[in-house]
Amino acid sequence: TTEEIFLARYLAHDLLGTEMIFSANATMGGISDVLGADGSTTSYEELSNTDLIMVLGTAIYPFYPMLGLRVVKAVKNGAKLLLVSNEAGPLTPRAALKMPMGADVNVLKQIAKALLNKNPKPEASGVEALAASLADVEISAEAQAMADAYAEAKNAVIVFDRSRSSRAAAQLIADIAVLAGHIGKPRSGIIQMRMRNNSQGLADMGIRKNMSDLNDKVYQKEVRGLVLIGQDIPEEMAKG
């Protein structure tokens, strides 16, 4: 629970004087690298009344059925659905536009570059660095159509699964929302889904180091004592 996370952080930070707090459910960066906060910027309620929804990276029904129902409700209310996914699912027949995600972030880069071409001087920091990183990206007709529809919508929400997305993908998703001006206004923004229990609470409490980070600290002999709360140490780490 959030209360338990708070108390664990209090024990580590305030009583033991350490920032070395780890969790198996923690994720490092992504949206927060662009927006400063690691969490959704809009709500399920606003999703039901937006004009366009872009679902990225996964068929959401098997993992987040309640959110899937919200998307269907929004489409029935008139929202246009854009689907970027390698998997077919219940949302596929409802999509106005769809294209495969592929195996990396190239599709997201294409959409971001298409948006940047439409608005080369957005009111945002870091645009020059982003443009340089996209210099060699070639935009497909499918990605251009996605970018056009997303940019031209009055209100639009991106839905993606952070548990199955890389940090680089999450960063690009936030960049896309910023470039199109779909951040900081009603019925627009990003819904970031997290599969594990209270992963958002960990992010809100500033706990972003995961067990891989702990493993590195152990093998670097930077850990002399370890307090475990609610989970066991991984077997390979225990073997040393």
What is the rounded CA–CA span in Å between residue 75 and residue 80? Answer: 6
User: CA-to-CA distance for 36 and 14, rounded, in angstroms?
Assistant: 24
pLDDT at 108: 96
* Res. 53 pLDDT band, cuts 50 70 90: very high
Q: How far apart are the first and last CA of the chain?
A: 30
- Whether residue 57 contacts residue 98, with contact meaning beta carbons closer than 8 Å, is answered with no
* Distance in angstroms (rounded) separating the CA atoms of residues 119 and 16: 50
Give which of 189, 170, 147 is closest to 44, Cα–Cα.
189
**For the chain, percent helix, then strand, then coil, each to nearest 5?**
45, 10, 45
What pLDDT, on the 0 to 100 scale, is given for residue 166? 87
Task: Report pLDDT digits (tens) over 148-172.
Answer: 999 999 999 999 988 778 889 999 9
d(CA 189, CA 57): 17
pLDDT tens digits, 24-40: 666 666 887 888 777 78
